[in-house]
Amino acid sequence: MDEWRVKDQSGDEGNQMKRTHITRSLLNSSTTDSFRRHHEAPISPGRLAHYTLALNAICRDPRRFHGHDLVGSLLHHESPSDQEFAIASLAACSSGAHVRKRQIRRLLDVADKTGAGQGGAGQIGAGDVDTLSTVLLALDCIVREHRNRNLEHYVKRPARGLARLQNPDGSFGSRTRSTALALQALAATWEEDPSWNHLSQESAPAWNRTAALLSLLSHQGSDGSFGGGDVVSTAEAALALAAKGGLGTIRNITCPSPPRPPSPLAAPGLGLPTDHASHGSAHEKLKDHSTETPTMATGNETLGDALVTYTLWVGSNISENLSLTLKAPANSSFYNLMLEAAQQDERFQFGSSSWPNGHYIHTIHGYREQPAAHRYWLLYRLHAVPDPSEPPPHHQLSPKGVDDLLVNNGDHFLFWYRKL
C-alpha cells in the first residue's frame, strides 16, 4: 500500500497513519471556501462531521476553524438523515462535547430501526450497515469518553446485531466501505470484551474478523486503493486494517495541549506518502516489509504446560500433511509455539513480517503466499486433530492473529496453505 501509507519519524504508522488517511480523504480547500462563501448552500451536517473528525485527527481545534465553531454547529443542527446524525454524534463526542440525552435516545432508536434488535443479513441494506456501524461507534464513544456505564448494555445489543449481519464470505453489506466500517465498529467494541463472544465447542464466534479482513483485502486494487480508487473508501479500509484503528480511536490521539489552531487552507505537518521500491496489495507489502529468523522465546513457566498439536496442510487438495505434538506454557502465544515447532522440525520453519499489531506469517515450509493467485496461509483453531477427509468449515478460522491467540491444553491448530 505504498501510495496510502505514511510513517512518522519514529517509524510508527499508528497515529500518523490515522491522521494521514482521514485528512487526505476529508480535508480540502473547497470546504474552507464553502464557509467563506455565505451565499452558497451550507455544508451538510455529515460533511461537517467528517471535517471535524479530520481536524481532531491532525490536532487542530474544530471549535476555532477560521472563526467558526464546527462542534457547536454539529450540536445545534441535527440532520434528518440517520447516518449523518450518527457521524455527527461521533464527531461531537470525539471532540469532548457533551451529547444530550435526547440525542442518545435517537441513536438507540436508529440502532433498533436498522435491525439491531432482530436483524438478519438479508433484512437490511448496505446503507443500513453503514448507519448501524456509525451508531455503534458513536455509542461506544459516549460510554467510554463520558464514563456513562448506564449505557454499556445498549452498546452490546447493536454490536451483536451488527455481528449477525456478516455475510458468508466475511463481508458486511454489499460495498467495500460497509465492510470497512463494520470492522472498525466491531474492533472498537467487541474484541475489547471477550465475554461477548460466548464461544464454546458447539458454537462459532458471532463474527469472524479474519474472514472480514480477507474479504476487504480481496477488493484492493493493483495501485493499493479500495472501492475502485475511491479515496474515502480507501481511507475507511486503511483505518479498518490498522491495529485498533478506526474513526472511534480519534479521541485517543495524543495531541499538544492546547490544540493548535488550523493554518490557512492547509494542514501543516501532513506528511507525503513514503515511496517504496515494491508495489502491490496489502499482503504483498506485508511480505516485503521484513523477514525474521525464528528464535526460541521464553514462556511463562508458572502457568503449567499445555499439550497441543500443530498441523500444516499444503494445497486445496492437501498434497502435504505435516503434524507435531508440542508442549508449551499454558496461555503463551501461538507465535511462541511456532518458534518452538521451527526449532524441533525444520519443515515448520517460517517467515514473518513485524508490524505494530504483531507478526504476519507469509511463509511456512518454504511456501510463500501468492496474492496474485489468491493463495494464503489460513489459521484454524480446532477441537480435534484436523482430518483431510473432512476439512474444517470457514467459520473455524481463527479470529485472532498469531500473537493474540493463546495456547490452552488440548488445542489443535491448523495452518492451511490454500487458494481463497
Greatest alpha-carbon pair distance for the chain in Å reads: 74
Cα angle value 51/25/121 (rounded, 5°): 95
| Interatomic CA distance for residues 405 and 285, integer angstroms | 23
Residue 155, Cβ density class (10 Å: 0-12 exposed, 13-18 middle, ≥19 buried):
buried
| Interatomic CA distance for residues 54 and 250, integer angstroms | 9
- Residue 305 marked as a ligand binder: no
Neighbouring residues of 115: CB distance < 8 A, sequence distance ≥ 6 = 123, 124, 128, 132, 161, 165
| Interatomic CA distance for residues 154 and 110, integer angstroms | 12
| Interatomic CA distance for residues 287 and 354, integer angstroms | 10
Q: How far is CA 95 from CA 63, 152, 395, in A?
A: 9, 20, 38
Instruction: Retrieve residue 97's grid coordinates.
Output: 462535547
In the block, cell 488440548 appears at 410
Q: Concatenated DSSP letters for 274-327?
A: PP-S--S-HHHHHHHH-----------GGG-EEEEEEEEEETTTT-EEEEEEEE
Beta strands 350-355 and 358-364 are antiparallel
Beta strands 358-364 and 367-368 are antiparallel
| Interatomic CA distance for residues 313 and 376, integer angstroms | 12
Cα angle value 27/253/256 (rounded, 5°): 90
Handedness of CA 137, 139, 142, 148 (dihedral sign): negative
| Interatomic CA distance for residues 292 and 311, integer angstroms | 21
Angle between helices 82-94 and 126-145 (to 10 degrees): 30
In the annotated binding site, the residues are 130
Residues annotated within the binding site for cyanocob(III)alamin are 130
